Amino acid sequence: MTDDFNASNLPASCSRLYSEPEEPASSSGTSQKRREDPEKTSCHADSLSPVSGGEIVLRPYQAESVQRCWSAMDGGIRRLLLYSPTGSGKTEIAMSVIKGALARGKRVTFLCNRIHLVDQTCRRALQSGIAFGVIQGENTARLYEPVIIASIQTVARRGLPQVDLLIIDEAHAVSGSEDFRKLLRHAECPVIGLSATPFSHGLGQWCHEAGGPLFEHMIIGSTIRELIDEGYLVDCDIYAPSEPDLKGIKTARNAFGETDYTDAGAARVINTPVLIGDIVRHWLKLAHGTPTVCFAASIAHSKHIVEQFMAAGVPAEHIDSYTDDAERQAILMRLRTGEIKIISNVAILAEGWDFPACATLILARPTRSLIRYLQMAGRVLRPYPGKNRALILDHSGTVARLGFPTDDIPLELDTGKQSRAGGKNNCERPVPKICPLCKYMKAVGVRICPKCGFVPERQPRVDVVDKDLVRIEKEPARIGRQAFYSQLLAIAKEKGYQTGWCRHRFRDRFGNWPGRSVKDVVAEPTKEVRDFLTRLRIRDARSAK
């Protein structure tokens, strides 16, 4: 039994969960700097009630994702990972799954790993008409509700409530979190993980704490390219005006299990007047005053960038984990209203921040982490009226290292085993080239610059593998994508291979992963497909010598 929703009855600290304030808070005065307290959040569950009749309207791929989640769980899958790109509406999918669980009389807990994600999920639940309780530090209330939105930090200390379904947001963090792994071991219910980066190290690996693989099955909700083609995301133009010298910078394993530059090392190299001046100069030249988010290497670096923009007459502000919640919301509102043009941070806006009007991204934070890169780039790929393409200004060398954020990504769970393709890192992708004239980043395979028309001289190209010369010509796709994949499924069944093998062979043939349009339908293999696989085996055998 819940009270009727009335936004005016909510305390000021949580009324923003239902609607944005009409006027931004004043920026005058100073605020007490602090780190986000994991024991405190602005969402007070005991005073929140859902919007009556909150209907969830799903896009076709979202509805299909919900149906496939239930089919997998009904088929006995216990730990399921749902992949859907940044900006695709994973939370809407989760809310629909939750409503389906409630219709079946089940109890659900939704786990978040950051305080602002707890707030955001509470807002979505309210708008979806879902009554919920909260387990989050001192703000624990309404535990009688069948849906609980919880902080992983609090649940790790107090224990998981008795539920029938556990949903984990930002599930790529599971493999690097002892708290998550222990919870999975004690979870006796089905688990759905949500992630836009499912290739995180060890997500499919056997884990002692979890008593089995962290996730045993993955559902692909959609792909980045499919969402761009269907208008649910926008494509991007990328310029790389400058690139810092990162030689000798120390690296360390990050929370996602990837090797990345240390913050201190990257900041020492990139926090220079010359590089920051280059950032301002190229933004003035290319961004045309569009709302912009900047990711910097350190707090000091971010503040220096803001100072230089302000000196150039461009209104900009910085936020970090010391910025109190009221001030942070006021700064974000000033960006929404156009009072400022640029918001700069280190990483606090990389997850869970939605502002579709944001059209320009400044990459001033060098990274080798594909997960972190895709999170940052995803901030500007959401569509908005009048926004046909996003703009990315890469001053960190990241695009040249990791490729376009709209390229296909590895869509299989990492089991910790070496891949079949000669031990190649599953996250390696073809990288674009920089136009030497205008610094535009050209997509893989594009020779003439689409922006300035520069034509580079042709260079002789020979594929060399040790002492042998090997060339595999890319055959014309006489067999369609579905037919080819269907035949791969039949061959995999013959040889006892997993479906991941089919996906890799599909990518060898077509240059990208099978998307949502390719179905798991088996067909009799033809000689053409078997011959293609034979040529691949010959190539791999020679490469391994």
227: closest CA among 408, 27, 498, 416?
Answer: 408
- Band (545; pLDDT cuts 50, 70, 90): low
Q: What is the C-alpha separation between 229 and 24, in angstroms, rounded?
A: 36
Strand 147-151 and strand 108-112: pairing? parallel
> CB atoms < 10 A from the CB of 22, how many?
6
Please, what is the Cα angle at 323 between 319 and 328, to 5 degrees?
Answer: 70
- Band (18; pLDDT cuts 50, 70, 90): very low
502: closest CA among 481, 473, 476?
Answer: 481
DSSP 8-state class, residue 516: T
Q: What is the C-alpha separation between 319 and 32, in angstroms, rounded?
A: 13
> Residue 469: pLDDT above 80?
no
Q: Where in the chain is the domain with CATH 3.40.50.300?
A: 7-226, 234-405+429-442
- Confirm if 51 and 4 have CB atoms less than 8 A apart: no
Q: What is the C-alpha separation between 181 and 209, in angstroms, rounded?
A: 6
3-state secondary structure of 390: strand
> CB atoms < 10 A from the CB of 31, how many?
14
pLDDT at 45: 47
Residue 326 burial by Cβ neighbours in a 10 Å radius (0-12, 13-18, 19+): middle
pLDDT at 393: 95
pLDDT at 237: 94
pLDDT at 58: 94
7-226 CATH pick, 3.40.50.300, 3.40.50.1400, 3.40.50.2000, 3.20.20.100: 3.40.50.300
- Band (12; pLDDT cuts 50, 70, 90): very low
Greater pLDDT, 1 or 279: 279
Greater pLDDT, 210 or 126: 126
Q: What is the C-alpha separation between 304 and 21, in angstroms, rounded?
A: 30
Greater pLDDT, 339 or 225: 339
For the ranges 217-226, 327-336, 407-416, 524-533, the lowest mean pLDDT is seen at 407-416
Q: Tokens 């010359």, residue?
A: 274
> Residue 187: pLDDT above 90?
no
Greater pLDDT, 98 or 199: 98
Q: What is the C-alpha separation between 196 and 224, in angstroms, rounded?
A: 10
Averaged over 285-294, what is the pLDDT? 95
> CB atoms < 10 A from the CB of 3, how many?
11
pTM for this prediction: 0.73
Q: What is the C-alpha separation between 77 and 427, in angstroms, rounded?
A: 26
- The predicted-structure confidence for 67-80, as pLDDT tens digits, reads as follows 999 999 999 999 99
- Percentage of the chain surpassing pLDDT 70? 82
234-405+429-442 CATH pick, 3.10.450.50, 3.40.50.300, 3.40.190.10, 3.40.50.2300: 3.40.50.300
Please, what is the Cα angle at 196 between 191 and 201, to 5 degrees?
Answer: 75
**DSSP of 43-73:** --GGG--PPTT------HHHHHHHHHHHHHH
Q: What is the C-alpha separation between 8 and 193, in angstroms, rounded?
A: 35
pLDDT at 387: 96
3-state secondary structure of 248: coil
Give the pair of three-digit tokens for residue 105.
Answer: 């009389």
Q: 251-287: b or e for each residue (b if 16 or more CB lie within 10 Å)?
A: eeebbbbbebbebebbbebbbeeebbebbbebbeebb
Q: What is the C-alpha separation between 19 and 21, in angstroms, rounded?
A: 6
Q: Tell me the residue length of the chain.
A: 545
- The predicted-structure confidence for 230-287, as pLDDT tens digits, reads as follows 999 999 999 988 778 888 889 998 878 788 999 889 998 888 888 888 899 999 999 9
pLDDT at 544: 63
- The predicted-structure confidence for 358-412, as pLDDT tens digits, reads as follows 999 999 999 999 999 999 999 999 999 999 999 999 999 999 899 999 987 878 8
Greater pLDDT, 238 or 31: 238
Average model confidence (pLDDT) across the chain: 81
- Band (329; pLDDT cuts 50, 70, 90): very high
pLDDT at 479: 67
13: closest CA among 37, 49, 45, 43?
Answer: 43
